[in-house]
Amino acid sequence: MLYLITAWFSVGYHGEDEHHQVIGFAEYRMGDLPEHERAWEYEARIRATGLPWVAMGIFSTADVLGVSSPFTKAFLLRVLTALIALLAITGFIRAVLPSVPDVLQKGFILLSYFLWFLPFLMVRFSSETWSGLLFMMGLTAALRTDRSRWWAVHAGLLMALSIWVRVPMVFAVLGFVGWLWRVQNEPRSIFLEFTGAALALMLLTIGIDSLFYGIPTCSAWRYFSMAVQGDPGHVFDTLPWYYYAPWIVKYCVPPIGICILLAFLKLAFKHPRHLLVWIIVPFVVVHTFIPHKELRFLYPLAFCVPWILIAGYREWSSIFENRSVRVIGIAGLGVLVLFNLMALFVVGSSPAGNGRVALAKKLHELKPGPETEITYIIGGIDSWRVRLPHFYLPDGLVQTSFDRSRIDTTFHVTKYVVAHEADAALINENANVDLELITTTETALNEQLLQWYSWGERPSRWGLYMVNGDE
């Protein structure tokens, strides 16, 4: 139920790629997106087309059933993801549980479903989430105590799909193969079955990509080639190699993030042959030395975190034999549970990203007429960060932008305005208009919690205002 609730409230998208390179691709392929609004990655043909194909199928079915709301269509994508995630998590728990001590099994199950960021990530119809789910199911096929005779074929197919959806997953897959070889000492036949199935699937994806783009295409190869050679036309921010560790502490909520790092470090030093070490180390090391960094690049392996915490706690548990330390540990656990519950509340009740799509939902309810103008007070950021994508834009609504530094009597009066509260107050004061607040991207409580979460770095919430006319 929590996953479905999160899917309902998590309107919009967490990262730009989640929309523009999935829903946007599907929208363009169906003839609904103007070419000038198409993401540049479409022409570059560097994105796998599996998720856009699925989106096209969902959208076409919805159209046949008379469902036209873009919010309902996007919700169906999130529900589909949530259902697959629940099946994948349940299977993974059953596969891993025999290796977890009895006293820790309930904790592992609870963490696997309810660690605060998992419900949010597991409803995202994105390459990060789906590649992680496919990889998780591949691991499940290999780890089950009652695995089938053809488990290597199943794992090869699923992990090849994971790589197709998100190419950097190849490093986690290589780590898994290395573990099978060096730690498990699997026979040669297993590697032949795994590799044969994976290669056959990758050949099939070339046909699927080519059909989507209308020209022979291997998206995985084109992605890898551009990653190595770079693209002078699209230069990304670069960050130092060590950024992921502090990001994990900060954005997993510091008490929980610190536990994750300590648990993994202890596990890696005590049990370097553990499967988690073989999977995570190559994946993270490669991403560490890629100059452009985003936390979402690590999302595909988020499902590993509950196992990391349990395995790490098992190694640290001896320190809790001391009564005083045990009392402190119980108090600390209470703090962790409180933080987790607060974070679950926020992610389960807030729109994704900066919440702009929640404003679009309200605009659809207002039914603006043709050529109705909406103005974004963008301040010092690029307008694309708040403008509504075509998929969610009501018909006839015209979008314009206005720099907050020019808010004075020259402000052009429109029907709707999207602005931060402080900027709306400046407009009311200096532009001689009356702005009526209609809705905001999140509640005041969620805004405060998100400000704490981001250490005050998150911009204030956006508000949708109606211009009532000249004063």
Work out whether the CA dihedral 237, 447, 408, 437 comes out positive or negative.
Answer: positive
Which tokens belong to 274?
């553990």
Q: Which residues pair with 418 in a beta bridge?
A: 376, 464
470 within 8 A of 433, measured Cβ to Cβ: yes
Nearest to 431 by CA among 374, 469, 465: 469
pLDDT in tens, 23-53: 999 999 999 999 988 999 999 999 999 999 9
168 within 8 A of 297, measured Cβ to Cβ: yes
For 340, other C-beta atoms within 10 Å of its C-beta total: 19
User: For position 380, what pLDDT does the model report?
Assistant: 59
Q: How far apart are CA 3 and CA 286, in angstroms?
A: 32
With a cut of 50, list the residues of the chain below it in pLDDT: 471
User: For position 247, what pLDDT does the model report?
Assistant: 93
User: By 3-state DSSP, what share of the chain in percent is helix, strand and coil, each rounded to 5?
Assistant: 65, 5, 25
Give Rg (Cα) of the chain. Answer: 24
Q: Token pair 């695995």 is at which residue?
A: 147
Q: How far apart are CA 184 and CA 178, in angstroms?
A: 9
284 within 8 A of 298, measured Cβ to Cβ: yes
User: For position 62, what pLDDT does the model report?
Assistant: 96
